[in-house]
Chains A and B, each alone.
Chain A
Amino acid sequence: MSHHIVEVKGLQHTYADGTHALRGVSFRITHGESVAIVGANGAGKSTLILHLNGYLSPSAGTVRIGDIPLTKQTLPEIRRTVGMVFQDPDDQLFMPTVYEDAAFGPNNLGLPPEEVDNRVTQALLTVGVEHLKHKPPYRLSGGEKRRVAIASVLSMSPDILVMDEPTTGLDPLARRRLITLMKEFRHTKIFTSHDLDMVLDLCERTIVLHEGTVRADGPTLDIFSNEALLAECSLEKPLSMQGCPICGKSRS
């Protein structure tokens, strides 16, 4: 389905204080792709993904989701299509219980109660937090919060999932579980992350942002093998591609 395509052309964004966060970013992500957007702090990653569902509007350039250009009129449709998972789950989980939080989106879509219930149950089952549904979000652990945040987006059946730093602040096991979970999703996926090992696990394609422009865009392995590029963009080879600290042998 062409709904799953994300096309960004010549995107520029200047904040009110005069910061040029994006200076002409273009890329096209097609159906079912899993893409990482990496870059140093302040490279424009967050600004970029806030354009993908119309929270920020471009100073110049266009964003298209599937066949629809992003405009004020198409905003509701776009927001249903693009599910956004925020970096801090506390920002996303504002309803009194897990269930109500997952039902927030479907209710806003105006779905009938049975359908809302179906979707919420399905979403909670998918991420494995069905047993927490009556709990208030602040009583959950970091990993549980993250899963619930994902469920609250899945319940709207988005075609495209956008996640901002999904593994930040998780313990290794919770991180591993999250990665396994995300591998199962058939959606088009877009991640921003500094966790390059996760990127290596999940994304076949990586876009490197540097000072508001696309510095490189290609297969993840190629990009992570290019040490000059990584150094220029304040990045580093993922740990799993670096030499073994004991025997000194490199895996890649």
Chain B
Amino acid sequence: MTRNGSSFLDLNYLDILASGDTVIHRIDPRAKVLATALFIIFVVSSGKYEVSSLLPFFFFPVILISLGRLPTRYILLKILFLSPFILFVGIFNPLLDTAPMLHYGTFSLSGGWVSFFSMIIRFILTVGSAFILIATTGFSQICAALEKMGMPKTFAIQLLFLYRYIFVLGNEVLRVSRARELRSFGNRGKELGVFGSIAGTLLLRTWDRAQRIHMAMLCRGFRGEFHFRRPCRIGKAEVVFLACWTSFFALCRMVDIPALMGRFISGVIR
């Protein structure tokens, strides 16, 4: 089916995961969206050279993965899949910022390396939490939650349509590029112009499809209103979920827990 076209992100499987039924899955999407957003804000806004104080933040994804019964390996692979991006962004840090920062005997680590590691940790945390959010909530539910929290309806619909048709477009891209490949021998048919006209064709097809979809919507009485009827409510569980995580994030931010534990343990040993 759409397997090939969607394998670049394998969103299919995320959807299957989202249809699970665990404590985490049952929490109102709004609470999960808010908690994840707060989590990302806290993680991203911590200092450039923070490494150890970021580690307690791993509790959030770890607990969500285990309570939501998500396959850890799959989530890790997804993060790994996107990691080249962050490696390219961060790889210049060690070259630009060479001032030594940490000393272990004769070995010293430059500020650039520390900020690079900090960046990777933040990347793993934020991207991981986003995947976990989708895998425990489902994309359409997230859109509905955002819309309920005041995001303009048009954006919510745009997002839904993007998610719905990315598979169709992905398949179309696959078919067109296969057709090109089969008729280009060796290195021919790889000129920039060829890709230009492929992109043009895809744009026109998308345009046509958009028109047909709009037609289908009009045929079923569409008058600019979308109706999402999803049962959702903020109850005790949601309040507790959100309150606990917010205070945990705030605590992680205010207190460097690993450093504190380190001091405590070394105090006990002494």
* A interface residues with partner B (beta carbon < 8 Å): 50, 53, 55, 76, 79-80, 83-84, 86, 88, 90-92, 94-97, 100, 103-105, 107-109, 113, 116, 134, 136-139, 141, 152-153, 156
Contact = CB atoms under 8 A, between A and B. Distances in A.
A152 B61 CA distance: 39
B219 A84 contact: yes
Main secondary structure of the interface of A (DSSP, over half): helix
B164 A105 contact: no
A117 to B, nearest CB: 9
Contacts of B138: 96
Nearest to B139: A96
B135 to A, nearest CB: 15
Interface in B1-52: 1-2, 12, 15, 19
Interface string B85-114: 000000000000000000000000000000
Given A76-B221, A107-B229, A96 B167 contact: no
B218 A79 contact: yes
A139 B12 contact: yes
Interface stretch (B118-126, B209-217, B247-255): B209-217
Nearest to B224: A108
A116 B228 CA distance: 12
B212 to A, nearest CB: 4
Contacts of A113: 229
B220 A96 contact: no
A104 B220 contact: yes
A96 B215 contact: no
B216 A108 contact: no
Interface in B156-175: 160-161, 163-165, 167-168
Contacts of A134: 19
B241 interface: no
B225 interface: yes
B168 A97 contact: no
Nearest to B227: A107
Contact of B164 (A80, A84, A94, A141): A94
Contacts of B2: 138-139
Nearest to B15: A136
A86 B223 CA distance: 19
B246 interface: no
A79 B219 contact: yes
A86 B164 contact: no
B222 interface: yes
A92 B216 contact: yes
B168 A79 contact: no
B212 A138 contact: no
Given A96-B140, A96-B160, A113-B229, A138 B168 contact: yes
A97 B18 CA distance: 13
A86 B212 contact: yes
24 contacts: A50-B215, A53-B219, A79-B219, A80-B221, A84-B216, A86-B215, A86-B216, A90-B168, A91-B212, A91-B215, A91-B216, A94-B161, A94-B216, A96-B160, A104-B220, A104-B222, A104-B227, A105-B220, A105-B221, A108-B220, A116-B229, A134-B19, A138-B168, A152-B220
B221 A91 contact: no
Contacts of A97: 140
